[in-house]
Structure 1
Amino acid sequence: MIFQYLRPPSFGNLMNSRDCFYYLDLSKKAFGILPPKPGSSRYWWLYYMWTGLIAVTAIIYAPAVFFITYHRALKTLTATDLFASLQAPIKSFSSSTKAIIVFINYNRFVKINELLDRMDRRIEKHEDRVLIHRTAVRSNYVDIFFHFLYFGYLFQCALNALLLGKTPYRLYNPIFGTETFTFSFYMATLVELFIVGIALSMNLITDVYPIVFGLIMRSHIELLRRRIQDLRSDVDKSEEKNYEELVDCIKDHKLIMNYCDIMRPVITKTLFMQMLMVGLLLGLSIVYVFFFADLWTAIATINLFIAYVFESFPFCYICNQLENDANTLSQAIFQSNWIDASPRYKSTLIYFMHHVQKPIEFNAGGIFSLNVNTNVRMAKLAFSVVTIVDQMNLADKMS
């Protein structure tokens, strides 16, 4: 069953860390980002053709169509049509750029799965495995939520086109016309929905993977904190055994930091593009809803507005929590039972505490930190755009 990765935990049937990416990996396979090795199956070449079609549509065809549309119709587009379609080319450019970054760094996703398997081998207690299982379920629910959010917008755009008799984005189409409720109109609508659907899917993949990455990282940090708390708690263990457990905790922390370092270059690049676009797109969405949209298009745009907010906020929130988790590790080390330990144990513990105090931080393109405060500033930028449009009376002038 496809929903077996949403099952509650049960003894002997628990998921692993790599299962957190299950539905996300299905999305990648569906849109050509996880191609099989040549010759691995009988019809592997069909998948490569599909990957090529997706790549050409997202990277070449979509930007070209948007450029031609605005070049041909900029003088004749009404303000409503302009704001209805202006978000699509911006989003398409952002989505395709982030998808290229993810595709180029495909090997990093393979490496983190191998690293997660190594981290899982350190889990011995049943309650710790339950924690990983719950993290996997939560991560898969996040992916499903984003699917409903993004494709709910696409469905509303399709419904709006059928009700109003206009193609969703008024894109230039040299093959099919846009005469209301004709065969050509329906085909033109399907072509536009296909283009935007690919852009949304690429965007969904690049929006979900940082959140899942952060959820897994927080869970393994929590497991490490539990192991640190248990250090030297068993009076029957020898000092040598206690020292080995401390060394294992240091190795676990190193694995977690390696996991972070492998994904940091991908996250910083995609989040940089995302944070650049989110303020602009939020502003355009609000202006369109306040000044130009009718009821049906406003509902669809509000759905998209929520999707824009959820693009950046969850991971920014997780970044804040990761900083707190690093402090929690340091406190757990200090509060562990070390007072009557051997000098070698104490010196190693000091070394461990020194490295744990290093903050776990992420930034966007090496320019600004990723946290909730940054996300709020981006949202304020969007409302600043609305204020400018309102005070300069640009809506009436454009109408």
Structure 2
Amino acid sequence: MVLRKIFPAMYAAPDTVPAVSRNATLYLLRCVFLMGIRWPPKNFFLIYCLWSLALNLCSTLYQPIGFMTGYIIHLSEYSPSQLLNSLQVALNAWTCSAKVIIVWFLVKRFDRANLILDEMDKRLTQPGEHNKVNNAVSNSNRIFFSFMTVYMIYATSSFISASIMGVPMFQNYYPFLDWRASRFQFWLQSGLEFFAMLGACFQDVCVDCYPINYVLPLRAHLANFAERLRQLGNDPDEHPDQLYEKLIGCILDHKVILRYCDTLRPVISGTIFVQLLVVGFTLGFTLINIVMFANFGSRIAALVFMTAVLMETTPFCILCNYLADDCYKVADALFESNWIHQEQRYKKTMLQFLQSLQKPIVFMAGDVFSISVATNLNATKFSFSVFTLVKQMNIAEKLSKPKEV
């Protein structure tokens, strides 16, 4: 009951309540605002600018530099487990920064997409149609909070594990700070790394979950659209001109759906492409760490991290496969409608429309390859190649050998 009052959009509204598709991105866009990549509000201009500067300076800009500088200065002081733990997070931090910058430049497309969702909502007339969209809204928000939970558990478990071992999480480089000099400097560096990692995880949730939050209501509207197409021509009292107008209306609805996808396509293309490029390396380093070097606490943190990395691409790739199936179902629904005994004008328009419906909606990653389960599997399988390469070259054994004094 408490959660329902605080986060009402997590729960499906009754059929009698008109669907509001943009609520599927309600909490996502609030968190995007807290990322500091929106235009500052007039009432809190200075506060918002300071918050944006602090978060993005620590997480988006400096964290990747801190990782690299730490390797250059203190590489010889890393244990194998610490090095792999740092490398797996460093790769993800670099990709997170790239994705945040992409979303930063294209964030206005989220607002445009919501305006198009409002157009789609106007076509909903039946309680069943509202029910499908309401369910999609609640599922979308629940998935967003599931992402947030997993990512924050990783950041917190890594901090606790590092605190117990007495070593900062990633040993990033901070000017004028030497965590070995005193307990105060150790806790100061640990706190800075924890804040930067919390900020990065918070940003990662937004830039990884937004495709799901926008595609789920799209699937609900496609299901409603298919049902409208299936009902065409079933009313015996309907005049041919009225039926033809309905068909034209459906064609316009399809154009709205395609415009919605085109609005989101540049953002999705950039962020998913960046993530798929490095997911194999990231998972490979994590596997090596879990199997060969990590202690019990580090293994738990690494397993949670692996789950978070898989969540960055896998759910949306699965959704893209479902989306293609939905498009074929829409084409089938039009073919199953009562069109055979209609007038010639209707048949010609309907057949042309059917040809366009048979082209599935496909999202591309960087305009290079399609986003699908097969692509995701090929990217993640590379992690086993990384693991095998390390085993065959005996890199793990070389790292484990004590250094000669």
Structure 1 residues 180, 16: closer, same or farther in 2, change over 3 A? farther
Q: Deviations over 1:55-92 (max 9, x none)?
A: 32234322222222111112332222211211222212
Aligned residue for 1:248? 249
In 2: Cα distance, 1:161 partner to 1:365 partner = 37
Aligned residue for 2:240? 239
**Conservation of the 8 A alpha-carbon contact between 2:19 and 2:121:** no
Quote how far apart the aligned CAs of 1:35 are. Answer: 3.2
Aligned residue for 1:25? 29
Aligned residue for 1:78? 79
Quote how far apart the aligned CAs of 1:180 are. Answer: 9.4
In 1: Cα distance, 2:54 partner to 2:192 partner = 13
Quote how far apart the aligned CAs of 1:338 are. Answer: 0.7
Q: How many residues align?
A: 396
Quote how far apart the aligned CAs of 1:305 are. Answer: 0.4
Asked if 1:188 is matched to 2:189, the reply is yes
Aligned residue for 1:89? 90
Which runs of no fewer than 5 residues in structure 2 stay unpaired? Answer: 401-405
In 2: Cα distance, 1:295 partner to 1:253 partner = 53
**Conservation of the 8 A alpha-carbon contact between 2:15 and 2:130:** no
**Conservation of the 8 A alpha-carbon contact between 2:327 and 2:360:** yes
Aligned residue for 1:145? 146
Aligned residue for 1:366? 367
1:44-193 superposed matches below 5 A: 44-179=45-180, 182-193=183-194
User: What letter corresponds to residue 27 of structure 2 in structure 1?
Assistant: Y
Aligned residue for 1:226? 227
Quote how far apart the aligned CAs of 1:116 are. Answer: 0.5
Quote how far apart the aligned CAs of 1:367 are. Answer: 1.5
In 1: Cα distance, 2:357 partner to 2:287 partner = 43
- SS in structure 1 opposite 2:7? helix
In 2: Cα distance, 1:75 partner to 1:161 partner = 19
* TM-score, normalised by the number of residues in structure 2: 0.94
User: What letter corresponds to residue 8 of structure 1 in structure 2?
Assistant: A
Structure 1 residues 12, 335: closer, same or farther in 2, change over 3 A? closer
Given candidates 1, 10, 28, the residue that maps to 1:6 is 10
Aligned residue for 2:207? 206
In 1: Cα distance, 2:58 partner to 2:164 partner = 27
**Conservation of the 8 A alpha-carbon contact between 2:88 and 2:283:** no
Q: Deviations over 1:296-346 (max 9, x none)?
A: 001100011011111111111111112111111111111100111111111
User: What letter corresponds to residue 123 of structure 1 in structure 2?
Assistant: L
In 1: Cα distance, 2:110 partner to 2:95 partner = 21
Worse-superposed segment, 124-133 or 77-86: 77-86
In 2: Cα distance, 1:371 partner to 1:285 partner = 23
Quote how far apart the aligned CAs of 1:236 are. Answer: 2.3
Quote how far apart the aligned CAs of 1:207 are. Answer: 0.7
**Conservation of the 8 A alpha-carbon contact between 1:20 and 1:139:** yes
User: What letter corresponds to residue 96 of structure 1 in structure 2?
Assistant: S
Asked if 1:16 is matched to 2:17, the reply is no
Q: Deviations over 1:218-277 (max 9, x none)?
A: 111111101001111122222211111111111111100100111111111111101001
- SS in structure 2 opposite 1:234? coil
Quote how far apart the aligned CAs of 1:354 are. Answer: 1.4
Percent identity over the alignment is 33
Quote how far apart the aligned CAs of 1:11 are. Answer: 4.3
In 1: Cα distance, 2:241 partner to 2:63 partner = 63
Aligned residue for 2:310? 309
User: What letter corresponds to residue 19 of structure 1 in structure 2?
Assistant: N
In 2: Cα distance, 1:149 partner to 1:59 partner = 20
Q: Deviations over 1:103-124 (max 9, x none)?
A: 1012211111111101100101
User: What letter corresponds to residue 93 of structure 1 in structure 2?
Assistant: W
Worse-superposed segment, 167-176 or 278-287: 167-176
- SS in structure 2 opposite 1:96? helix
* TM-score, normalised by the number of residues in structure 1: 0.95
Aligned residue for 1:341? 342
- SS in structure 1 opposite 2:76? coil
Which runs of no fewer than 5 residues in structure 1 stay unpaired? Answer: none
- SS in structure 2 opposite 1:75? helix
